[in-house]
Structure 1
Amino acid sequence: MRLRDVPRNLALLLCVFTASFAGPADAHNSRAPLNTSGLPIANLTHGQLHVMDRYRNAIVDLAARQVSPDVETRTLYNFVNLQFAYCLWGLVPGALTNEDNPFNGCSHAYLAGSKALLDQLQRSSGDPAKANELASRIQSDMLRENTALQICSNGAAPLNTGEIILPEWAGVPFNPLKTLLIFIGICILTGLLLAGFRKSNKEAA
């Protein structure tokens, strides 16, 4: 590939990559997952979301301490951590309390994944006592807080480890990820253009 073709090809790739963040990402997950190649995950009601948020760290820590986890446990563990990172580690205000928040859909994903991970630990762990204890505490909290009655539109459809739920970037006034990508792309393209210009001058000389 010729050097002068690199900026044009890179620009095309950058546009495609950036477009994946610029458009709606179905964060408000009211549909069935398009990719069902992974493990199915039951969604949560709005009330269950708040309970699971209190126990997510304990569940992930317990999963990380498993000596020989099975494939399903590893898959769910990776899904929860990846989904949590995509949802900016749960740091966005109102992500759990407001179902219209652009990050509410991805919050459902990593917390529902945490519940599925705990269920899997109960089934597959060599010593399920701690998993059973966590599950019992979570169940008690859910019953006490009547979480099943607190319905949320983002909890209507099931999830799947084969499909990551991204935040609804179109609903965010300032998109830091998109801005960063554009800035990096401009810097790369500028550098390549300057390198190509200098090479052309040397060849002409």
Structure 2
Amino acid sequence: MRLLFLLLILVAPALQAHAHSSHSASYNAIGLAIPSMTHGALDVLDDHYAAIVGIADQAKESDPVFRKLKNYTRIQYYYCLWGIAPRAISDEASPFNECSHAYLSGARSLLLHMRQMPSVTEAAGRLASAIDIEMVHRGTALVLCSYSAAPFFTGAFVTPHWENVTTHSPTLVAAVCFFALVAGVLFTGVFWSRSSRLRFEI
């Protein structure tokens, strides 16, 4: 998946126009409103994202709110390239910071909603309590950033800020490393192919 993340950087310029429209759309009131979180809370939620989705998969009942939150959280996670972008959560300047806010805020809302669902209420309640305690211990719940105030909506997905890839050093370095890796693999493949053909002809 890391290779896919870096590969998508290649098409960043072509996606800039789409990215701008997606970002503005994220603030339109389309679907269910999802409250955003403080920047510090993201780090804690990120550690428990897989557990939240796992509980959602175990739910035996369903309802419209649950389906919308679950769908949004999974798709937004995909849009944000599965959270593998370097410093996507810790660095507000990352092109992937806003979309990270989106899928983790969705995960939080999903977890809170599942506390009302009989089949997973106990598991969701335990995890929610554990996350609250961890936030207090880390002392990060009050750390705000530019994306902490605006809500997200289940009908408007947030794409990465592709136009900022070249100005964010960690992302740019990752892209350069990927280019070097691809070039190395291609060169090695061509070299061995020609060497094998030469030996065969000899």
TM-score (norm 1): 0.69
Structure 1 unaligned regions, length at least 5:
1-17, 177-205
For 1:135, the equivalent position in structure 2 comes to 128
The within-5 A match list for 1:116-131 is: 116-131=109-124
Q: How many percent identity over aligned positions?
A: 38
Return the alpha-carbon distance in structure 2 between the equivalents of residues 110 and 80 of structure 1: 5
Contact 2:83 2:100 in 1 (8 A): yes
Contact 1:48 1:148 in 2 (8 A): yes
Return the alpha-carbon distance in structure 2 between the equivalents of residues 136 and 106 of structure 1: 25
Return the alpha-carbon distance in structure 2 between the equivalents of residues 170 and 135 of structure 1: 36
1:25 is aligned with what amino acid? A
Cα deviation 1:74-125 (Å, max 9, x = unaligned)? 1111101100001000010010110010000000000000000001101234
* Deviation beyond 6 Å, 4+ runs, structure 1: none
2:73 is aligned with what amino acid? V
Q: Give the number of the structure whose alpha-carbon radius of gyration is greater.
A: 1
The within-5 A match list for 1:12-161 is: 21-23=15-17, 25=19, 33-161=26-154
Instruction: Give RMSD over aligned pairs.
Output: 2.6
Return the alpha-carbon distance in structure 2 between the equivalents of residues 26 and 140 of structure 1: 37
Shift of residue 19 of structure 1?
A: 8.8
Cα deviation 1:163-190 (Å, max 9, x = unaligned)? 101100111237x9xxxxxxxxxxxxxx
For 1:163, the equivalent position in structure 2 comes to 156
Aligned residues: 157
For 1:6, the equivalent position in structure 2 comes to none
Structure 2 unaligned regions, length at least 5:
1-11, 167-171, 176-202
Contact 2:16 2:161 in 1 (8 A): no
C-alpha change, 1:26 and 1:115, in structure 2 (3 Å) is farther
Shift of residue 162 of structure 1?
A: 1.1
Shift of residue 36 of structure 1?
A: 1.6
C-alpha change, 1:125 and 1:163, in structure 2 (3 Å) is farther
Q: Which moved more, 1:45-54 or 1:32-41?
A: 32-41
1:21 is aligned with what amino acid? L
Secondary structure of 2:98 counterpart: helix
